[in-house]
């Protein structure tokens, strides 16, 4: 042996050195680059989402309290819903804030989920829960016509509230009235406890109207909240407009624009004249009692069995059967302000004019009175809003 290492051993050592040198150097450089990129990718979003009211809040106001905002970023998603999954509609403004489009319901728990992104596209989220107040005082609305009704072309949708309303805009905003075929429908307030909705002209025959009353949580007056959520649907039947002429003592009944009958009538005598103007049948009674005491006429009359009575005003104007009038129909005005049609006591005869008119009428039919010596009926007396111009109605 000459003491020299074999060539193979030397080459193997050199190869190991090269592998170690290349592997070690390259590995060290790549670790530093990946570490920096990972740190940048895991950097926390600068966007900050805030929700008012605070998480867990109770007794929250139904209007004006809920707001979602973003700082150092823009909102990309806001979802607010109650525990039943009913979502609250709202809008993001300028990417910075979200507010609900309408009031919230009372005594209800809501969950908020909101997401915002900073300028680098990193997301930040916020989840919150709160519960709205439970009112101590509430109001409801009594309405006409009823759900599922078929009505005449003059029928408005009328709501009377159990409490006087001092925030009418908020209440009106919570009521939607839509017609099919579509036509503009506007509301008009009579005093502070009633609102009627109607189009500019009579409804078209066959129109379908849908009313949504979302009054739950609406503050109608300080500390008094609505508690109704209801949908009402009704349909307009054929068109019937009857014109009463106090001068000729005749009533002309038109169905869909064509005259179908002329009926001799009697209206109010001197001192008790019938209102002029457009009125709408709001109530129908096959028999009713009429007592002068109830309308300020003392004991002048008390008839316990007035047949075929249909109400035209809240103040007591009816178009009704009259079995005591003798030969007044078509000849002379002799009533205390109502419109009388010939009838028989008990209303059993279906052929008399009063029975025919009753059987061919419906709630919402129009009765127009002209040529009396009294003024035009007030628009708020019964469903008489058609006596107002469209411009005045919308004020």
Q: What is the domain-level CATH number for residue 317?
A: 2.40.440.10
CATH number at residue 141: 2.60.40.3710
- The answer to whether residues 256 and 376 belong to one domain is yes
Residues 357 and 223 grouped into a single domain: no
Same domain, 102 and 180: no
- Residues 271 and 333 placed together within one structural domain of the fold: yes
Asked whether residue 184 is domain-assigned, the answer is: yes
Q: Using alpha carbons only, what angle is made at residue 309 by residues 387 and 352, rounded to the nearest 5 degrees? A: 115
Residue 12 pLDDT exceeds 90: no
253-262 long-range Cβ contacts below 8 angstroms, 24+ apart: 253/357, 253/360, 256/205, 260/360, 261/356, 261/357, 261/360
Number of separate domains in the chain = 3
Same domain, 188 and 249: no
Residue 33 lies in a domain: no
Strand order in the sheet with 208-214: 150-151, 229-236, 208-214, 175-180
Domain end: 185, 219, 236, which one? 236
Q: Residues of the chain with pLDDT > 90: what percent? A: 86
Q: What percent of the chain has pLDDT over 70?
A: 88
The domain boundary residue, chosen from 82, 102, 131:
131
Query: What is the extent of the structural domain holding 96?
Result: 48-131
Statement to judge: residues 296 and 380 lie in one domain: yes
pLDDT at 103 over 80: yes
Same domain flag for 194 and 320: no
Taking residues 356-363, report their average pLDDT. 98
**The three-state (H, E, C) secondary structure of 56-68, written as one string:** CCCCECCCCCCEE
* 37 within some domain: no
Say if residue 264 is in the same domain as residue 367: yes
Say if residue 248 is in the same domain as residue 225. no
Residue 97 domain-assigned (yes or no): yes
Tell me the pTM.
0.85
Give the model's pLDDT for residue 34.
59
Chosen domain end from 189, 218, 236: 236
Q: Is 253 exposed, middle or buried (0-12, 13-18, 19+ CB in 10 A)?
A: buried
Break the chain down into helix, strand, coil percent, rounded to 5: 15, 40, 45
CA pair distance 78, 195, nearest whole angstrom: 35
Residue 170 lies in a domain: yes
Tokens of residue 220, six digits: 């109608």
Q: Does residue 94 share a domain with residue 167?
A: no
Within this chain, do residues 93 and 160 fall inside the same structural domain, yes or no? no
In which element (H, E) is residue 341 found? Answer: strand 339-342
Give the catalytic positions in this structure: 320, 338
- Mean pLDDT for 106-124 is 97
In this structure, the strands spanning 366-370 and 240-245 are parallel
Residues 286 and 385 in one domain: yes
Q: What CATH number has the domain bearing residue 84?
A: 2.60.40.3780
Whether 19 shows a pLDDT value over 80: the answer reads no
CB 194 within 8 A of CB 187: no
| Mean pLDDT confidence for 273-289 | 97
Contact 166, 220 (CB under 8 A): yes
Domain assignment of residue 379, yes or no: yes
């Amino acid at each position: 042996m000459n003491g020299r290492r074999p060539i193979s051993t030397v080459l193997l050592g050199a190869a190991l050195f090269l592998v170690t040198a290349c592997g070690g150097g390259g590995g060290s450089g790549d670790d530093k680059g990946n570490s920096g990129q990972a740190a940048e990718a895991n950097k926390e979003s600068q966007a900050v989402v805030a929700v008012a009211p605070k998480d867990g809040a109770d007794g929250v106001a139904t209007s004006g309290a809920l707001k979602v905002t973003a700082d150092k970023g823009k909102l990309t998603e806001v979802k607010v819903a109650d525990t039943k999954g009913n979502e609250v509609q709202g809008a993001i403004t300028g990417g910075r804030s979200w507010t609900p489009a309408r009031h919230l319901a009372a005594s209800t728990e809501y969950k908020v989920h909101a997401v915002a992104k900073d300028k680098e596209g990193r997301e930040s989220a916020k989840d919150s829960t709160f519960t709205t107040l439970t009112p101590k005082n509430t109001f409801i609305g009594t309405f006409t016509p009823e759900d599922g009704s078929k009505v005449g072309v003059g029928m408005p949708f009328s709501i009377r509230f159990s409490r006087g309303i001092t925030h009418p805009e908020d209440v009106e905003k919570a009521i939607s009235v839509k017609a099919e075929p579509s036509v503009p429908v506007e509301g008009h307030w009579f005093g502070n406890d009633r609102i009627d909705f109607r189009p500019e002209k009579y409804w078209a025959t066959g129109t379908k109207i849908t009313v949504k009353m979302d009054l739950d949580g609406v503050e109608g007056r300080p500390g008094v909240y609505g508690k109704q959520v209801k949908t009402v649907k009704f349909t307009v039947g054929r068109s019937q407009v009857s014109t009463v002429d106090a001068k000729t003592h005749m009533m002309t009944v038109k169905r869909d624009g064509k005259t179908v009958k002329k009926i001799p009538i009697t209206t109010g005598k001197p001192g008790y004249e019938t209102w002029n103007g457009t009125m709408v049948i709001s109530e129908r009674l096959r028999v009713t009692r009429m007592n002068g005491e109830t309308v300020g006429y003392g004991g002048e009359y008390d008839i316990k069995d007035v047949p075929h009575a249909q109400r035209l005003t809240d103040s007591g104007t009816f178009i009704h059967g009259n079995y005591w009038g003798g030969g007044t129909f078509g000849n002379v005005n002799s009533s205390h302000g109502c419109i009388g049609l010939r009838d028989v006591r008990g209303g059993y005869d279906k052929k008399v004019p009063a029975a025919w008119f009753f059987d061919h009428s419906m709630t919402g039919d129009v009765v127009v009175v002209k040529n009396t010596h009294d003024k035009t009926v007030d628009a708020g007396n019964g469903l008489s809003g058609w006596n107002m111009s469209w411009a005045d109605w919308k004020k």
